[in-house]
Amino acid sequence: ATEKPAPLPRSKNAALEGLFAKRAAVQKEFDAASQPTDKKAALEAMLAKRAAALDGEDEPKAEPKAKSKTAALEAMFAKRAAEMGGAAEKRPNPIPIRNDPEFKKYFKMLKVGMPIDTVRQALERDGKDPAIADFDPDKSYASQAKEEEGMAEDVPLKDDPNYKKFFKMLTMGIPEGAVRQALQKEGKDPDVATMDPNKSYASQAKPKVEDGPPLKDDPEYVKFFKMLKMMIPEGAVRQAIQKEGKDVSILEMDPNKSYASQKSTQKEVGPPLKD
């Protein structure tokens, strides 16, 4: 029997090409089996893969669930409350007047037992409202100054904190002249003593007459009012006025009004008639 001739050995290049072709066919079959048949599913898979690549994740993120309406409203109100709370923290707290750098020394004077009239004089000497001495030390100046302004407009004089004590003096039978002096001593309008207690001060106050500086600032009389502020007895001041030949009746006048405006309305009072 004749022997079959042995097959010729294939070249190395041909062997490699055959190997690669076989592997490529296997890979093609695997890819075909793993690809979804639905075009829509294939598109979604591709987009999910790209999204995952952009986010740096292996798997695409799950879509967040929509919040309920109640949760959304609660979040909104919580945010507004936080904003309002922050605004309230930024708003400065009012300083009690006893700690206010502008007024605290006067309340220290009251605390150490100095008479309130002395404190009022100190306030007036410093160009401040003497009524501050009657303010609540635990409230701010602004809150009480506004109240005082509002009261001056529509509160009856008998209930006005600035004047009600003078009307109590009148109801107790204290002479009108003594009440006028008490008003002048505190730097208030002495005409209040003759006003209607059921009406406000603003509705009855006379307009200011611009006919000269207030007595306390009048160059001719200023030194006598300074003497009074320095607690020099009124008798000694009266003698000093007489010594210089000036009108001693200024001591009964309102230091916050001019001499001319008060002298023109002042009644001339003569000596008492003898029996």
Q: Percent of the chain scored above 90 by pLDDT?
A: 9
As a whole number of angstroms, the distance between CA 256 and CA 238 comes to: 19
As a whole number of angstroms, the distance between CA 181 and CA 197 comes to: 18
Contact 119, 106 (CB under 8 A): yes
pLDDT(1) > 80: no
- The whole-model pTM stands at 0.28
| pLDDT confidence of residue 60 | 47
CB atoms within 10 A of CB 139: 15
Q: DSSP readout, 2-25?
A: PPPPPPPPPPHHHHHHHHHHHHHH
Long-range contacts of 191-194 (CB under 8 A, 24+ apart): 192/157, 192/163, 192/166, 193/166
| Rounded average pLDDT over 177-197 | 88
Which of 209, 225, 208 lies closest to 217 in space, CA to CA?
A: 225
For residue 194, give the DSSP letter.
G
Q: What is the Cα 162 distance to its own chain's centre?
A: 25
Alpha-helical runs (H) found in 91-231: 104-111, 116-125, 141-154, 164-171, 176-185, 201-204, 222-229
| Rounded average pLDDT over 144-173 | 77
Q: 61 or 201, which is more confident?
A: 201
Q: Which two tokens stand for residue 82?
A: 């936080």
Angle at 126 between CA 190 and CA 105, to 5 degrees: 115
Residue 34 three-state SS: helix
| pLDDT confidence of residue 37 | 53
CB-based contacts of 207, cutoff 8 Å, min separation 6: none
Q: Percent of the chain scored above 70 by pLDDT?
A: 68
Highest mean pLDDT among 77-81, 140-144, 218-222: 218-222
Q: Which two tokens stand for residue 140?
A: 């701010």
Q: DSSP readout, 169-187?
A: HHHTT--HHHHHHHHHHTT
| pLDDT confidence of residue 89 | 45
Confidence of residue 34 (pLDDT cuts 50, 70, 90): low
As a whole number of angstroms, the distance between CA 226 and CA 228 comes to: 5
Q: What is the 3-state secondary structure (H, E, C) of 154-170?
A: HCCHHHCCCCHHHHHHH
| pLDDT confidence of residue 275 | 44
CB-based contacts of 262, cutoff 8 Å, min separation 6: 215, 253, 254
Q: DSSP readout, 64-90?
A: PPPPPHHHHHHHHHHHHHHHHHHHHHH
